[in-house]
Structure formats: structure tokens, C-alpha cells
Structure 1
Amino acid sequence: MEEEGKAKGEEAFRNTRVPPWTKQITVRSVVTSFVLSVVFNFIVCKLNFTTGIIPSLNVAAGLLGFALIKSYTTLLSNCGLLGEPFTRQENTVIQTFVVAASGIAFSSGMGSYLLGMSPYIGAQLNGGNTPINTKGLSLGWMFAFLFVVSFVGLFSIVPLRKLMILKYKLTYPSGTATALLVNSLHTPKGAKLAKKQVAVLFKSFSGSFVFGFFQWFFTAGDDCGFSSFPTFGLKAYSKMFYFDFSPTYVGVGMICPYVINASLLLGAVISWGILWPWIEHKKGIWYSADLPTSSLNGVQGYRIFTAIAMMLGDGLYHCIIMLLRVAYSLISQYIQKKESSSANHEDADQNTSDDLDSQLRTEYFSKDQIPSWVAFSGYIVLAVISIITVSHIFPQLKWYHVLITYLIAPVLAFCNAYGCGLTDWSLASNYGKVAIIIFSSWVGLENGGIIAGLASCGVMMSIVSTASDLMQDFKTGYLTLASPRSMFASQVLGTFTGCLVSPLMFWFFHKAYTLGDPQGSYPAPYGEVYRGMALLGAKGFSSLPQHCLQLAIIFFFSAMLINIVHDLLLHYETRYKLHRFVPNPMALAIPFYLGGYFAIDMCIGSLILFLWEKRNKQKANDFGPVLASGLICGDSLWSVPAAILSLAGVNPPICMKFLSSAMNKRVDTFLNGV
């Protein structure tokens, strides 16, 4: 039935000509893609600097690309200027361009490993804050670093595209879902639905933007405004439990799976509700009572390193499982191919209509070749340039360190791209964390091991992340009959745009706000977390406060145990589907550092979607992601005028702050005395 449905999908386009690959990339598609890339880079940067949770924005990219080009072509048609028809291949190119550009905003490490190099983050950790272990942030070296590392991953996986998609027939769920969206938008029924979706997107975007503007008036000082509203009381507020009226994270919660949002809330309860209050009672016993709250040798050290331990445990487990799964799948494919080769003659005459779809797609996917020699020579040349440049930008990371990274990276890129095709889960950040520990330990603290570890993380993440993203997009192109050459070209253009725009976006936030301040608007938690990993690798466990190592070990193995329980239930228990209720260790760990305020926002988003699905599941499926995307875009884009006002010295007129009754009396007494 599934293949039949796909065949019917292609039947809808039987009278539509597939343009050559040079016509799939047009001036209007490039201009539209660039505009959307700037918008999406800003959104991803803002999410990076707040909680670091980035939802999939593929649906929003595909829909917004469709809406903008369709509006443009309709306007020209109404003016009597009939332009080229807007095809699904052109839509796919736009979506690929935008996702590639916004992907750089994540893999560039502006909110994680690059930010962790700064002296400001180094001063917060009270360890390794020496000139050789810090690097001042500047646009010059960030541009150079991104341009030499971001393109290598594109060439590492290109020769394997046919193997992954045609031979192994990997599903790539996100790529498939995006293709189905694009295909449906370009059918008569889909175009009608798209108009309604665009209307909902515009309304939610406008409402979110206006609400952000309204909130700004009440933020004239620290801890002012709706974002500091003590929803559950002042005691709960002091423990980071409150609803901060953020449309962004309500929207993110509508996109993320229920288990992620529930895991975030559970992690906040375990840490800020139970564990940290208990450790604070050990002040003066486990750690000095004179230490500031932000000291890594005090309670902050427990927060950072228990979160790191859970993330490392979760990442290491998934890396090992993914490698085993890839090996098992490859062996199974080989055995099945060997067994089926003898039986092929029996089925040779069963060429049914179910195969027509795949035959057509295979024909177009194989039509415009990207020669393997181009991929191999491109990888070698870019790797050599990168080795020279990266070792010059970061003298702590020697040329042979970078060379070893580039020798290992293609294998991990294959594993990540293959595993992403099976599970829809990219482990790029996990491979980057492993690189941090290995290279920071290898170089050592006195030789700049922190910077070496963080830089090697960037090299590894750029290759592994780009490879899986490219293969997802090849799957989308395969299902929409987009040429591999146009897909690769749009990836290159999107990567170039991301390398250009991401540092500028970072610099905009850097100048307008204090990035990495735990008490500020943009705490950028992963900057401190990634630097903490590098410090742990370079300095060893001696940097941890008393009993922190024992807690870290407990949480490290707890993350592994949770994953084992989940996988066992998924494999053996099918009646009640209990694996759905097993929390996600990575999501559990994030609130250990940040608190539960954003988890409450996201759970409210989940609740809205859940009630909507109960009332009308089809409408929730059609309009839920659209509504969420509008909330995220509107609230995020309000940050642009807000930051410009801040840079111009224009302050909000009102400070709305909440005090206890006792504190209010003291303030009144003081003011009356004055």
C-alpha cells in the first residue's frame, strides 16, 4: 500500500515537465533562499543563546519558500507578466539552501564551543583561565575558521549517495517528510491547504511579534517584565520554576516530541527541586561557604559536571549503539543480497506498477552525476587548506591533530549519515564531545588543551553534521525528482551563506547583550558546558569539588541505564509501548544548569497540541507546526528591533518587578524615609 500511495503521488505530476538541473536553481530561488536564511539564522542563533534546544525547521523553510515564490509568481501573473512556473524541484532547492545555511548556525558553535573559548566564559569556570587556554572572539578568525571547515563535509559523503538511498534504501524520515510536504504543496489540493497554512502562519507570527513588543515596555531593569513573572510564587521562582511568557519556547514545545518536553520538566524537578537544595545544605562541608554561587568549586560545579556526565553518558551510548547498528545493518544487507541473488530469476517477471515510482526516481537521481574524483579531490584539497589554516588560527592544535581528525571524520560521517537514515537522529554533537575529551587530554592543560579540544570539536562537528544533512536533502531530492547536482549546488550556496551570516548574527547579539551570563537574557549554557568538558579532559578530575566525581559517575551510568531500558522496552515490549514513557537523558540534563522555566513553556506548548489533537487530530497535524513556526519566528524577530533599541541607548519606560510583602514594606519604608 505504501508504494501504491507513492505511485499515485507521482501520477499527480505526470503532465509536469521536470526542468534540467540548471533551471532548478533560479535567481528568484537564490534571492528567496538568502532572505529566509538570514531569518532562520537569527532564529537558530537566538535559540542557541537561550537554551540550546533547536527544533526541526524544515517544514517552516519549505512552507515559507513556497509562500514567497507563489506570491511572487501570482503577482507577476496578475500583472500580465507570465514567468516560469514554480516547480517542486525549485521548492526543494530553496528548502535545501535554507536548511544548509541555518545548519551552519548550529554546527558553527557560536553558542557552544566557539563561545566557550572566550575569556568571559573561562572566568566563570575558575579553571584553565590562562591566555593559552582562551581566545578573544573576533569576526576575522571566525570567518576564516568556518569557511575552511564547513565545506569539507559536503565532499566526504557525496560518493556514497547512491549506496545510501538506492542500494540500502534508507528512509531518512525528516527528508522523506519534507519531500511529502513539497509534493503535496504542488498538487491542487495541497496548494489550497497551503493558503490556509500561510494565513495561520502570518497570524501567529504577527501576534507573537506584537506580544514581544508589548513585553518590552516592562523590562527597564534586571529581573523586570513578564519574563520574570513568579507564576508559582516567589519561592518557586527562586528555584527557576516559573512561566516566562515566551512564545518561542511555547512554539518549540509544539514541535518537539512529548517525551522531550516531559523529560525537561522532570530534569528540572530532580535537579532544582531536589538535588541542588540538598547540596546547598552541604555548604561549608563539601565546599567553602565563602564561594560565590557562580564558582565552579561550589554548587555551580555540581550543576555543570553532573549535566556534562549525563550528556557524555548519553552520547557515548548512542555512538556505540549506532556503530553496532550500522555494522549489523551492513552485514544483514550483504547476507540478504547474497541470498536473494539466487532467487532473483523467480521474481524477474513481477514488474508491477508499484515499481514505476522508484524506477522514475532512480532514473532522475542517476541522471546528473557528481563524479567521484571531484568528491575525493575536493575533500583532499579542502582538508589540506583546513589543516594549514586551523593550526594557524589555533596554535594549540597542531597540524597532525587536525590531520588525524580528517582521517577519522569520513568514517564517523558515514556512520552518522547511515544512522540518521535509520533513526532520523544526528549524533554530530556527540562525536564533537568525544573529540573534545580526546584532544584536550592529548594536548594537556599547560599546552592549551582547552582550546585544542574545543577547536577539534568544531572540525569534527562540521564534517559529521554537514554529511548527514546533505544525505537527508538527497533523500528529499530523490522523492521530488530534484537533480543531485542542483541539490549539491544549493547545499554549497547555503553553506556559504551560513558561513557569512552566522558570525554576523553572533556579533550582533554579542554587541547588544552579554552572551553567557547565567543571570542574563542569553545565558548560552552550552558555552560553559563545552568548556567544562574541555577543562575536564585537560585538567582531569582534580578540578571537581568534593563528591562531585561520585555524582558525575552516578549520572553518567544513569544516562546509559535509561537508554538501555528504553531500547529493551522498544525491542521486546509491544503491547503497552512503555518505551514512550522512558525519559530522554539528554533532555533530562539540560535543566540541571538552566532550571525549569523554559521546560514549563515547552510543556504548555505540548499541552496546547495535545488538546488540539484530541479535538481535531487532522487540523492539529496540518496547522500545529505552522502555528508553532509563526510563534518562533515572530518572537525571535522581535529581538532585532529590541537589540537595535538597546544599542541606540533607548530604554523601556517601565520596570515591572515582583517583591514579597516583607520586601515591599522595606522598600516603602526606605522611600518614605527618603
Structure 2
Amino acid sequence: MSIILEETPPTKSNSYITKLKLPQVTLRSTIVGLLIGSIILISNFQFGLQTGWVSMMSLPAALLGFAIFRLTPMSKNFTDVENVYIQSIAVAVGTGPLCYGFIGIIPAIEKFLNADETGLGHKIFFSTKELIIWSMGLGLFGVFFAIPLRRQVIIKEKLPFPSGSATATLISVLHGTEIYDDEDDTKEDPEEDEDDLNKSVLQRQTSSSQLLESINYNSNMRSLTATFIISSIYTIASFFLPVLKKIPIFGTWASNNYEWNIQPSPAYMGQGIIMGLPTVSYMLFGAVLGWAILAPLSKFMNWAPGPIDDWISGGQGWILWISLSIMVSDSLVSFIVLSIKSIRDLVKDYKKRKASYTQVLELQQRQREYNLQHPDEEQSDETVVVPINAAVEVPANFLISNKVAIIGTIGSTILCVITLKIIFGKLIPLYASLTAILLAMLFSVLATRTLGVSDINPVSGIGKLSQLIFAFIIPSNHPSKILINLISGGVAEAGAQQAGDLMQDLKTGHLIGASPKAQFIAQIIGTVYSVFLSSIMYKVYMKVYTIPSDTFRIPTAIIWVDCSRLVTGEGLPPKAMEFAMFFGVIFGLISLLKNTLDSTSKYYKYLVYLPNGVAVGIGIYNTPNFTLARFIGGLIAYNWHKISDKGRIGMIIFSSGLVLGEGLFSGVTMLLTSLGVKHW
């Protein structure tokens, strides 16, 4: 008898395997996914350029996909796995503005980078063709090197990915099917042939839980439609009545001198609902700290004597450095702690494997000793397989192979280097491009793990960490050090964004029973389409609107360029360094506590009262009118169970209608602006 060690995953159930074989990559679902993704992309452009906030919108994408098919004869054979494919494409398209830097890096270079900071002696402006080349270089490598992470974070560690799990729950309710979890899906179904199983899967989606499906679908669609209409009406009304964007609820003096207004935007309230009360409370704390205390102090002490809303000489520009310090400090501490935890988990996994191997070696030695002691006994030819770390997995023909992942990663890396060379020529050294991509790979692991646990993809913090690292890599006398710093951060952010998006979608597919290969195809199709649409939409926004302006402040772009100047040693306004260091230390310690204390500590329940540094930083660099509306949304979320009998999914659908209405109808106001329609 021989004993071998093998990682042997349990076999999936027959119904799960059958569902994997159902048609998923279809022309109709691809078209619908691209259409929904386009709507989300326009919405993300609108709010990204205004406040720096974008959303994956996976839940409304799944609901809209189901609604479109329900209204057509195709609904009879529309499956839940095809719905997963639709939302995967839509998310890949919709997050393009953030992934390709169109709300941060690109406007930072075009609008705020000085001629002497480019290394060329003149400012840089991108053509549509150059934007497409840039986006193609950034859009693919994050998808490929995220492939190997799936087995670790979804199959082995079973990280929850809250939004991905919620999307799977919504899809299962709409279609009347089941959620597969790793504890139950290894149980074999009663023996049925494949044709019967195919019929069974389809029948469950049309008849099983039909009443539940009808109630939830109709209720959610009414909610989505009503909030969409309300938000759309506000968008058109605020175009003709700009006063609706700045209501001086604290008086005209506070409004004129310190920007204390409220913009009762349904979309901002919807964003606040999605963020939740703790996050928007931290943002409100940041708004009070920045706009009611620090900005007035800087003006009173003559550290920032200009108008309060001036980015250069006013209080807004002065408190921006405090915001940067807080966010960089929080991100750096979080990264260090999470990296240590990840390494610790990997070491534990290695020790378990080593112990299993040791166990097998001991069994083999005992068997040999027994054979020597009993030479006359007939030796068995049986092979005993000892499984280790068994994890439920789908058959290999439904997965993307490691070979594809390796070739794709190498190919997309080369593509990224080439595109950067085409756009920037000799300004970007080869070692800088390769280092940025390597950092992106490292940070993508952190991003997916953080997203899996907290439902937050820390891409903004990752970008700033990359900028901080490159401040030590690029010589201080390099003429393009600011430009290189910006680009390196953009590459890292793109990789983390793509990896996180794909992993959350894969979690949804894993719970529903969709093919990971189909979802990978969806990500590739959505990414390539988004490359072109995002580039075109950016040029449209820049042509139609005056940017930056009171409406489109592009705060993320200002954060990017000022962070580059900060880490590369540029001078700060008077006393800004002292305040930045003080608050950086304070929020670094807070981040350390929030990331090290776990639920076993008796102080864990009090951590919610300690503000999150990134949220506080956002509250500081955005004007109060944005934050106040989000805080109202957070209060609605907190009291949701009192004002509605719908659960968390219903709440997210409600808020998504508010966001999508204003986002989509921003296209109408864009048309009105381009036609020269006057405000009242």
C-alpha cells in the first residue's frame, strides 16, 4: 500500500455542474450588459468629476438586467447565471472613469500640472487617441494577475465580499433559485440525467418561489423607478435653478465666507445611504474640522489670506494639505497592518501544509516498518490519498488556466510599458514603469482582501502609497518627478481597481453557480468597451463644461497633484506642515487601533466612535454642501428599518435609483449646456 498527499477538492453537485454548462456568454446578454454599463459609466463620470466618488453599482446592474429581459419574450429562458454575466460586464464598463484615471490622474496632468513639472517645458494635453492608448495600457493587467487570487480568497478563505454576496442574493431571489455555499453544495442530488437537470434548473427559475420573486421584483422595480424619477426631476430643476445646488441653510454670511451650504441632491443622499451612517458621520466630522475650524483659523492667522474657496492662497488650499496628511497616514498604517496579517495567514497556511506532509511521511515510514516486520504478508497495491486543505472548486474547463494568467500578465505588462512609452516617450524611465506594475500586483492582493472583508476597495489609499514609494525611487532632481509620481499612482490604482472588481463579481458567480471563465470574458469585453467609451466621454465633458468649476471641482485631481508635490518635497503654505504632521500622527494612531483590535477585545465595540482617516479626509477636501446631503442619506440608512419593511437589498436598490437618475440625466443637462440654454 502506498500513501500519497494530494489536494483533492470535493466534487460539486450535479445541479451545480449542470448550471455551469448553461449558456452565459450570449450576444443578447453582452449587448444588455454594455448598455447598463454605459448608464453606470455616465453616472460615475458625473459624480466622479464633482466629488471623486464612484460606485460599482453591481446590485442595480443585476436588477436592471433582469428587468430588461422580463419585459421581453426572452425572459422564459433567461437564467440566473446569464444575469451574473450581465452585471459582470456592466461593472467592468461602469468603473472605467476611476480605473483609467479620468476623474483623477488625467485632469490632474492637464489642469493642474505646471509646465516646469512635466519635464517638457510646456503643459500636457491628451488627444482622444492618446487617451484610448493610455486606457488600454492600464485596463488589462489587473484582470490577469487577479486570476490566481480567486482560489485563495474565495475558495479557501471564503472571504464574504458583502456587496458581491448581496448581489448573488438579489439574483437568486429574482430567479427563484438557490445560493450555493461551500458547506452544502457537495451533497449529491438524486440521480438524474443531464437533460432532466437542465430542465430542473430552468423550472426552478420560472416556478419555484414564484410568489417571492414577483413580490420582490415588483417592489424593487417600483422603488427603483420612483427614486429614479425623483432624482431626474431634481437634476433638470437644478439646471434651470442653480440656487438649488447651494442653499444657505446656515445663513448668507456662513455661505459667502465659508461655503456652508447644502445641496439637497437625491443622488448625494443615495450615496450616503450606500456608505452608511458611520462613514458619512466621519465625513461630517471632517467637514466641521476643515471648514468650521481649520479654514477660518488659517484665514484669521493670515496663513491663507485669499478667498476661502481658492486652491492656491485660500483656506480650501490650506486645509487640503491636512486632508492629504490624514489620508496618507491612515492608508500607510492600514497597509502595513494588513500586509503583516496577510503574511501571517500565509505562514499559518504553510505550517498546516507542512504538518500534513509530515503526517504523511510518518504514515509512510510506519508502513515501511510494518512491511519489514511482516515480510510474509501479501502487500496491498492500494493507494491511499490523504487530502489536505480541501476546497470546493469547479471543473478545470470552467476556469481560466494558470497558463492563460501568466501569459496574459506578461502580455498586458508589456502592453502597459509600451503604451506609457508611446504617450510619454523618454519622460518615463523603463524601470519606473516596471516598478509601478510590480507595486500594482502587490497592492492588488491588499485591495482584494480588504474588499473581501470590509466591502471597501482602498484604491485611493493605494494610489497615495504608490506615490509615497516613488518619491524615494525617482531622483529628486529628475525634471519629470511630479509627472512620474502621478503616473505610478495611476498604474497602482488601476490594478487594484480591476482586481477588486473582478474578485467581487467572481464571488457573486461562485454563490450562484456561474462559470468563472464566462465572468472573465465579461470583464475583458467590458474593459475594452469601457476604454473607448470612457475616453470619449472624458473629452465630451471637457469640451461642454468649464472644468474645474463650482459644479465640477475635480477634487480628486487636486489631491493627486498636491500629494505628488508633498511627497517630492515641494513647499507648503505657512504652518501647513506643522498641522499636517500633527493630524497625520493622530490619525495614524487611530488607524493602528482600528486595524489591530479585533472582535475579541472588550474595546472593539467602541472603535466605531473613532473616525476613519480616509473618510475624514474626504470630508475636509469636499465643500460642506456635498457632505451634508450624504449625512442625511446616512441617517436614512440608520433608520431604514423604521421607515421601510424592505431589507438591506431593498435599501440599496432605493438608493441606486437616486444615484442613477441624476447620473443619467446629467447627459440631458450636458446637452442643454452645449446648446447654450440659459439658467433662470
- Do they superpose with TM above 0.5? yes
Give how far 1:558 is off: 1.8
Answer with 191-200 or 306-315: which moved more: 191-200
Q: Distance in 2 between matches of 1:299 and 1:129?
A: 27
Equivalent residue for 2:412? 382
Give how far 1:323 is off: 0.6
> Is structure 2 residue 363 aligned with structure 1 residue 312?
no
Query: Does the 8 A contact of 1:436 with 1:456 survive in 2?
Result: yes
Q: Distance in 2 between matches of 1:149 and 1:438?
A: 19
Q: Distance in 1 between matches of 2:232 and 2:309?
A: 35
Amino acid across the alignment from 1:62: A
Q: Distance in 1 between matches of 2:162 and 2:650?
A: 20
> Is structure 2 residue 649 aligned with structure 1 residue 649?
no
Give how far 1:486 is off: 0.3
- Deviation per residue, 1:332-374 (Å, 9 max, x gap): 23334555788999xxxxxxxxxxxx99x94536442322122
Equivalent residue for 1:46? 46
Rate the CA distance shift 1:559–1:185 in 2: closer, same or farther, 3 A.
same
- Deviation per residue, 1:275-321 (Å, 9 max, x gap): 111111111xx46x579962535534422211111111111111111
> Is structure 2 residue 202 aligned with structure 1 residue 179?
no
Equivalent residue for 1:658? none
Give how far 1:35 is off: 0.8
Q: Distance in 2 between matches of 1:16 and 1:151?
A: 29
> Is structure 2 residue 501 aligned with structure 1 residue 469?
yes
Q: Distance in 1 between matches of 2:560 and 2:598?
A: 31
Q: Distance in 1 between matches of 2:67 and 2:674?
A: 33
Q: Which one of the candidate residues 650, 654, 658 is aligned to 1:627?
A: 654
- Deviation per residue, 1:8-51 (Å, 9 max, x gap): xx99x959952526x20111111111111110001111111111
- Deviation per residue, 1:422-470 (Å, 9 max, x gap): 4333233322212223335515465111211111122222222212222
Q: Which one of the candidate residues 277, 294, 315 is aligned to 1:299?
A: 315
Map of 1:546-557 to 2, 5 A cutoff? Answer: 546-557=574-585
Amino acid across the alignment from 1:247: P
Rate the CA distance shift 1:503–1:550 in 2: closer, same or farther, 3 A.
same
> Is structure 2 residue 251 aligned with structure 1 residue 233?
yes
Equivalent residue for 2:534? 502
Residue segments in structure 2 that go unaligned for 5+ positions in a row: 1-11, 177-208, 363-388
Equivalent residue for 1:405? 436
Query: Does the 8 A contact of 2:447 with 2:459 survive in 1?
Result: yes
Q: Distance in 1 between matches of 2:577 and 2:28?
A: 56
Q: Distance in 1 between matches of 2:544 and 2:175?
A: 42
Map of 1:550-589 to 2, 5 A cutoff? Answer: 550-567=578-595, 570-571=598-599, 573-574=601-602, 577-589=605-617
Equivalent residue for 2:87? 95
Query: Does the 8 A contact of 2:56 with 2:95 survive in 1?
Result: no
Equivalent residue for 1:121? 112
Equivalent residue for 2:372? none
Answer with 334-343 or 620-629: which moved more: 334-343
Q: Distance in 2 between matches of 1:159 and 1:106?
A: 24
Equivalent residue for 1:7? none
- Deviation per residue, 1:541-590 (Å, 9 max, x gap): 4x112221111111211221221233455445448821222211111112
Rate the CA distance shift 1:243–1:184 in 2: closer, same or farther, 3 A.
same
> Is structure 2 residue 224 aligned with structure 1 residue 206?
no
Equivalent residue for 2:266? 247
Equivalent residue for 2:399? 369
Map of 1:68-217 to 2, 5 A cutoff? Answer: 68-73=68-73, 85-118=77-110, 120-122=111-113, 128=117, 131-132=120-121, 134-187=123-176, 188=209, 189-217=212-240
Answer with 28-37 or 133-142: which moved more: 133-142
Give how far 1:176 is off: 2.1
Provide the aligned C-alpha RMSD in A: 2.9
Amino acid across the alignment from 1:18: K
Query: Does the 8 A contact of 1:147 with 1:499 survive in 2?
Result: yes
SS at match of 1:18: helix
Q: Distance in 2 between matches of 1:368 and 1:170?
A: 21
Rate the CA distance shift 1:17–1:142 in 2: closer, same or farther, 3 A.
same
Query: Does the 8 A contact of 2:105 with 2:486 survive in 1?
Result: yes
Rate the CA distance shift 1:19–1:235 in 2: closer, same or farther, 3 A.
same
Amino acid across the alignment from 2:152: L
Answer with 250-259 or 188-197: which moved more: 188-197
Amino acid across the alignment from 2:609: F
Give how far 1:605 is off: 1.3
Query: Does the 8 A contact of 1:248 with 1:633 survive in 2?
Result: yes
Q: Distance in 1 between matches of 2:309 and 2:175?
A: 56
> Is structure 2 residue 516 aligned with structure 1 residue 484?
yes
Query: Does the 8 A contact of 1:367 with 1:483 survive in 2?
Result: no
Equivalent residue for 1:35? 35
Amino acid across the alignment from 1:386: C
Query: Does the 8 A contact of 2:249 with 2:261 survive in 1?
Result: yes
Map of 1:284-363 to 2, 5 A cutoff? Answer: 286=303, 289=305, 294=310, 296=312, 299-337=315-353, 362=392
Query: Does the 8 A contact of 2:62 with 2:87 survive in 1?
Result: yes
Q: Distance in 2 between matches of 1:15 and 1:192?
A: 26
Query: Does the 8 A contact of 2:56 with 2:501 survive in 1?
Result: no
Q: Distance in 1 between matches of 2:593 and 2:435?
A: 35
- Deviation per residue, 1:252-289 (Å, 9 max, x gap): 11111211110111111111111111111111xx46x5
Query: Does the 8 A contact of 1:133 with 1:448 survive in 2?
Result: no
Task: State the TM-score, normalizing by the size of structure 2.
Answer: 0.83
Give how far 1:243 is off: 1.9
Query: Does the 8 A contact of 1:309 with 1:552 survive in 2?
Result: yes
Q: Distance in 2 between matches of 1:416 and 1:628?
A: 25
Percent of pairs with identical residues: 26
Rate the CA distance shift 1:623–1:437 in 2: closer, same or farther, 3 A.
same
Query: Does the 8 A contact of 2:436 with 2:488 survive in 1?
Result: yes
Give how far 1:593 is off: 2.4
Count of paired positions:
606
Query: Does the 8 A contact of 1:133 with 1:450 survive in 2?
Result: no
Rate the CA distance shift 1:334–1:641 in 2: closer, same or farther, 3 A.
same
Q: Distance in 2 between matches of 1:94 and 1:140?
A: 28
Answer with 468-477 or 522-531: which moved more: 468-477
Equivalent residue for 1:272? 291
Give how far 1:56 is off: 4.7
Residue segments in structure 1 that go unaligned for 5+ positions in a row: 1-9, 78-82, 220-224, 346-357, 655-674
Q: Distance in 1 between matches of 2:435 and 2:119?
A: 26
Rate the CA distance shift 1:369–1:611 in 2: closer, same or farther, 3 A.
closer
Q: Distance in 2 between matches of 1:582 and 1:127?
A: 41
Answer with 566-575 or 179-188: which moved more: 566-575
Equivalent residue for 1:664? none
- Deviation per residue, 1:214-258 (Å, 9 max, x gap): 232223xxxxx2112212211232322222121110111111121
Q: Distance in 2 between matches of 1:128 and 1:552?
A: 24
Equivalent residue for 2:383? none
Amino acid across the alignment from 1:281: F
Q: Distance in 2 between matches of 1:16 and 1:185?
A: 21
Give how far 1:129 is off: 7.6
